[in-house]
Structure 1
Amino acid sequence: MVNWNSLRDELEQAKQEGRYRPLTVWESRSGTWMTLNGRRLLQMSSNNYLGLTDHPDLKEAAIRAIEQYGVGSGSVRTITGTLDIHDRLEQELAQFKGTEAALVFQSGFTTNQGVLSSILGPDDVVISDELNHASIIDGIRLTKAHRKIFAHKDMDQLEAVLKESAGFKKRVVVTDGVFSMDGDIAPLPNIVELAEKYDAFVYVDDAHASGVLGKNGKGSTDHFGLHGRVHIQVGTLSKAVGAVGGYVACGQVLKDYLIHKARPFLFSTSQTPAVAATCLAAIQVLKQSDELIKKLWANASYFRSKVQELGFDTGGSETPIVPVIVGDPAKTMRFSDLLLEEGIFAQGIVYPTVAMDKGRVRFIVTAGHTQEDLDFALNALERAGKQLGLLG
């Protein structure tokens, strides 16, 4: 008989350390206020940065696509699964990002896995920031490339690694645009300068920068004015864009190569027509106005400054991701629970997602939050912080 005791033991250890959390099942649409077990809670953990999950233009586009194309595409992209709506989406994404081409995957996670595993071989080296997202780490693990890590945003160490890596066929420097756990921005201009100095490729994952940084949300490359100098831009359609999926914006040669080599692309059914149409509509909303992005940043600046005034440690946050660093995993999750009692859903994040002593409750501010919402959260933060001894 199969014995699952080792898995049970591991789960029990996670429970004892305060790291175990069952899935939270919500009873309402994604928004600033959501219903859990019949109770309305202020949502402060959603990646729905611009509130587009409920935008009327996106919903109308999805409905029209279902009526025209049906609910599914029926195949992988390389057989019968590339509909004209998928082709239009990739053309729009490339134009939006200022690249020759774009290729859409089923998620941001599979994009990183597909691209990294395709372009890196045993004669190459990948150089990765130590705080890069798990999808980057897993994508690198799928390759036979040599791997080197540089300390978070440490440009001296990056240069040293580039110098040491002179003999490799390809050198690829990989970084998040915005780091998801800390909310800080990669020093992309410095990375690009070093890459150009040592003839390396630059690969940026803009999952938390798409729709957030740059003109009309074009991302970190646009934010820093580095068009043409970043070779591979990965983005998500699942966060600020409001739907689901991922993409790589790149040169036409790389797109053509990935169509033939990227396993997640080759062996996964393509996006449903409704999702592709939703993403197309979202790009149009972003191109037409930057008002939502301005509101997002105004909310983020207000909330972060007030959290810091209360005396909390927000780490290196400089975006709408505002972590409150607690430290101990059990204490972190207790803090999250106290906030839930106060009517705030703010997810505690602990080891192994972050270091054992870097547990935090991660707040994500959106354009949909009102100042009254944010003040409600701030008052709850103060009460919970005092109760747990985090504030004097």
Structure 2
Amino acid sequence: MNWINDELVRLTEKSLERSLSVYSLAAGHPGHLRRGESRLLNLSSNDYLGLSGHAAIVAAMSESLLSEGAGSGASRLVTGNRAPYALLEQSLAQWQGKEAALVFANGYMANTGVIGALVSRRDVVFSDRLNHASIVDGITLSRAEHVRYRHNDPDHLTFLLNKHRDARRKLIVTDAMFSMDGDHALLRELVVLKQRHGAMLMVDEAHSGGVYFARGEGLSHQLGVNEDVDVHMGTFSKSFGVYGAYVCGSRTLIRWLLNTARPLVYSTALPPAVIAGISKALELVQEEPWRRERLAALTKRFRASLCTAGFTVIDGDSPIIPLIVGDNETAVRFSSDLQDEGIAAVAIRPPTVPNGTARIRYSISALHMEQELMEAAARIRRIGLKLGVLKS
């Protein structure tokens, strides 16, 4: 096993080794964390709507825990399927305007399970080059041919669809909002191509669900293409503030996944308490639009402050705001200096992002206060100048 030490040395030399840090909530300070004795403004969370600590969600989970116990005890196809599952899936289908829904343990398992159930050998999956790792791994495990098109490039996708016109099945899959850049997929263009080439379309709304449209339905609804999306996938670990994932689509699709999605069939069901928390979160996501409105306003203000400070920021309205640093070592130093300044913002490095594009990925929450974000932008500017990321 000595080779492992050699590989770890190489990771360290390239500033690519990861390690775990211990954080806790900063009681009485929404949007903050504690690490040791330090209180940090949390700019690395996916808790976009600020629901992860919501009292009503915690109460629902506590009540379920006392009545239903800690675990489900089996997979859903054995004895782990409790009544709250069916009620949640009915609510999800109604929310998304689809015929049916299916809950998975997490987004990774949903993506690998769905893709593996829809395609296999002799099929082709057309995947945006910046899609999440769970999509990439799902395609690999499916054994279908993996064809990557240039990021948000419909012309390149058209070329590839024509090249593989004789494939048995064709699946186009994309993130709706890309997790490392915060930009949006060109969903309208993808719908046109799907229809023209007889392909299926799967959209991962993990980061856009809860954030966009009137009741948080996501980007597909915002762009008016929801009815043309064959597979709508989303998660409960970001805007919902809980854990798990879902897939919405036709009754036929859901019946098929229930029989063929291996991560669902062969995994123990989520604990009833988690389902109770998700159900309450779904209510809040729909009934409290002020959270989306506040998130949008804070995001716009923070983006503007970074631009005023001299940073180049990708255009957009998403709460994900990356600052491209370039090399791994500078990104790690930037993150460390931010922590010294009271800001939790993690360095994102390859293979999560392409080589040469290491970054600090900021993400905004409805829990943040405008003044603290403005102060954070000033500190980020000072560090950028010190490290030479910004020129004075």
What band does the TM-score fall into relative to the shorter chain? over 0.9
Give the direction of change, closer, same or farther, for the CA distance of 1:29–1:248 in structure 2 (3 Å limit): farther
CA distance in 1: counterparts of 2:118 and 2:18, whole angstroms: 37
Q: What SS does the aligned partner of 2:228 have?
A: coil
Residue equivalent to 1:18: 15
1:87 matches 2:83? no
Equivalent positions of 1:223-262 (< 5 A) are 223-262=222-261
Residue equivalent to 1:188: 187
Q: What SS does the aligned partner of 2:25 have?
A: coil
CA distance in 2: counterparts of 1:52 and 1:272, whole angstroms: 19
Structure 1's unaligned 5+ residue stretches are none
Q: What SS does the aligned partner of 1:381 have?
A: helix
1:113 matches 2:109? no
Residue equivalent to 1:168: 167
CA distance in 2: counterparts of 1:148 and 1:15, whole angstroms: 32
Equivalent positions of 1:301-312 (< 5 A) are 301-312=300-311
Aligned 8 A contact 2:112 2:135 in 1: yes
Residue equivalent to 1:315: 314
Residue equivalent to 1:62: 61
Residue equivalent to 2:373: 374
Name the stretch that deviates more: 15-24 or 49-58. 15-24
Residue identity opposite 2:307 in structure 1? Q
1:265 matches 2:264? yes
Deviation at 1:294, TM superposition (A): 0.6
Q: What SS does the aligned partner of 2:334 have?
A: helix
Deviation at 1:317, TM superposition (A): 4.7
Aligned 8 A contact 2:323 2:360 in 1: yes
Aligned 8 A contact 2:233 2:245 in 1: yes
Structure 2's unaligned 5+ residue stretches are none
Q: What SS does the aligned partner of 2:21 have?
A: coil
Give the direction of change, closer, same or farther, for the CA distance of 1:57–1:210 in structure 2 (3 Å limit): same
Equivalent positions of 1:28-67 (< 5 A) are 28=25, 31-67=30-66
Equivalent positions of 1:351-390 (< 5 A) are 351-390=350-389
Residue equivalent to 1:213: 212
CA distance in 1: counterparts of 2:329 and 2:302, whole angstroms: 25
TM-score (normalizing by structure 2): 0.97
Residue equivalent to 2:345: 346
TM-score (normalizing by structure 1): 0.97
Name the stretch that deviates more: 132-141 or 372-381. 372-381
Q: What SS does the aligned partner of 1:264 have?
A: helix
Deviation at 1:318, TM superposition (A): 3.5
Q: What SS does the aligned partner of 1:54 have?
A: coil
**What do you get for the CA RMSD once the two structures are aligned?**
1.2
Q: What SS does the aligned partner of 2:333 have?
A: helix
CA distance in 2: counterparts of 1:146 and 1:26, whole angstroms: 41
Deviation at 1:29, TM superposition (A): 6.4
CA distance in 1: counterparts of 2:315 and 2:181, whole angstroms: 6
Aligned 8 A contact 2:296 2:317 in 1: no
Aligned 8 A contact 1:312 1:325 in 2: no
Name the stretch that deviates more: 42-51 or 26-35. 26-35
Give the direction of change, closer, same or farther, for the CA distance of 1:377–1:313 in structure 2 (3 Å limit): same
1:6 matches 2:3? yes
Residue identity opposite 2:34 in structure 1? T
Residue equivalent to 2:221: 222
Aligned residue-pair number: 389
Residue identity opposite 1:148 in structure 2? V
Percentage of pairs with the same residue: 37
Q: What SS does the aligned partner of 1:210 have?
A: coil
